[in-house]
Amino acid sequence: MTLEDLQDDVEARYAELDEELPVGLDRETRNELAMLSAAMDPEDADELVRRAVHMLFQSAVERGTLDFHLRSGYDCTYDEYLSGMTFDEMTGASQFPQQQDNDDRRYQF
């Protein structure tokens, strides 16, 4: 898959998401959400879920796990997605490919 495939998939997933997202909670998640809600006293639990998504995203970007998954599935990184170009396109490597044969004689006299 390519950078264009990633862009198409992100746009499709974005369109699928509504303003409201019903999420089922297991017992552990419900308990943790209740603890955070009691401690942080947000206006509603939705605010904590929004913060959690932001924190998970930031953590995945900082630790490189997002790039790992993007590279595995789409052969690109988050930076390439943001710029709209692959690294090879940014550096011009796709326009000016280098010869791959090793000429060991080049430095021999």
What is residue 55's predicted lDDT score, i.e. its pLDDT? 96
Per-residue pLDDT tens over the stretch 6-37: 999 999 999 888 887 788 999 999 999 999 99
What is residue 98's predicted lDDT score, i.e. its pLDDT? 60
Buried b (16+ CB within 10 A) or exposed e, 47-78: ebbeeeeeeeeeebeeeeebbeebeeebebbb
What is residue 97's predicted lDDT score, i.e. its pLDDT? 57
pTM metric for this prediction: 0.73
What is residue 65's predicted lDDT score, i.e. its pLDDT? 96
What is residue 108's predicted lDDT score, i.e. its pLDDT? 54
Low-confidence ranges of the chain (pLDDT < 70): 93-109
Name the burial class of residue 80, with classes exposed (0-12), middle (13-18) and buried (19+) by CB atoms within 10 angstroms of its CB: buried
